[in-house]
A and B are shown apart, each in its own frame.
Chain A
């Protein structure tokens, strides 16, 4: 069955510290992988996506993610967190040509001043 696991429900980091949010997926075919961010009262915004090619992808707001097929992972990273990064982050998986995304349950990021 297709699934996405985000093992961390909450993560708290200090402003300026580095960040890594974990995502593991289970998918039979070659996956398309996404990270979305949701701020309170706002819709989900795409941070970055992986379809093929370079396994390290760059996104908006200084985020990057690395696809590791052997570990079925697509972890999101940022070298220096800003207070405005506090939000909920969702990893999602879909198939090539598919219309449907399967989302993880999300990780809520809190940023200490």
Chain B
């Protein structure tokens, strides 16, 4: 079983819709959770971090964390074509304070 799992997609949504990206993780002791956006041919860039159960909002982005279900999600409201990218979920490894464990990413396509 992979430690951080994401649906590879592509997830296709129309412009203006809400895109919902999901991630599950296996290590129940994980404490830090991150979402990165990666455009084709570019390096990942951080868009959201979350540490406590519940929702965290930043502009059009909302991260949701449910530690009991070992589930973290990213909602993108009013999706734009410029949001089309691969979204990587990352979780810190409990056995080491040094590492993040990345999922393989979900590709999002926002149709104009």
Is chain B a partner of chain A in the same complex? no
Q: Name B's A-contacting residues (CB within 8 A).
A: none
Residues of A within 8 A of B (CB): none
